[in-house]
Structure 1
Amino acid sequence: MSRVVTVRHGSNAIDLPVTVKGNTRYGYDLPHDAFVKAVRGVAVGSHRGGVTALNDDPMPKVGVTPVKDRVTEGAQLTWRMTLSEAADTEIMAEFAFQPVTGGVELFTLDVDPRWLEENFGE
């Protein structure tokens, strides 16, 4: 949105109203930037400003559970990821592989090399 405003002689500020739609979902902070330029008869000291509406909603809890916790060699392992509630942005989930406490350990040679490269850069 753009508009022309008149700045009174001797004034150094103008009011720019901003409407922020609120909700109760986790999301990114929302910046509202303002850019100005002198059209005639004025000088601009700072051409950029604005405000940021900070997200005040808690991040949903992430659940990660295996669809199957045992598969035959060569079969695909699958996990189901859930959120405790909807979010307005993507949510990253971190989980770690635990050491084997029994059975046969999985080695990197057992995994598709392309998958290792895409997910771990190695």
Structure 2
Amino acid sequence: MRKISAVFAGIFGVMTLVVGGSALTGTVDFGTPVPFVLIFNFASGFGFVAVGWGLWAGRNFARLLTVVMFGASLIVALGLVWWISQGGAYMTRTLWALSARTLVWGGLALVARRVIAKA
């Protein structure tokens, strides 16, 4: 379970960096992204890669990083709700993508908690 989750996190992270980087540089038109969500999603790609390595190696920092990133995702989600309530432009896929990413962080946090012993 640990190594499967590690590979998943690593691949998900690289995909996040590629897609997020394309959106940030404008090489691919993604419509009207919410700026802080786009930046967070791109930055979280580095977190996914780090967690992938940490899970693979059985490093304790992966436990903490998954919880921190799950919490950060929830905060960004609250920010998105506020953004929408203030009439900010958004796309429905932003809601789905952020929800999926938050669930993935939560799942990785549960896996890390189970498979990595406390230091």
TM category (shorter chain) comes to under 0.3
TM-score, normalised by the number of residues in structure 1: 0.24
**Structure (1 or 2) with the greater helix fraction:** 2
Using CA pairs under 8 Å that are at least 6 residues apart, name the structure with larger relative contact order, 1 or 2.
Answer: 2
**Which one has a bigger Cα radius of gyration?**
1
User: What TM-score results when the alignment is normalised by the length of structure 2?
Assistant: 0.24
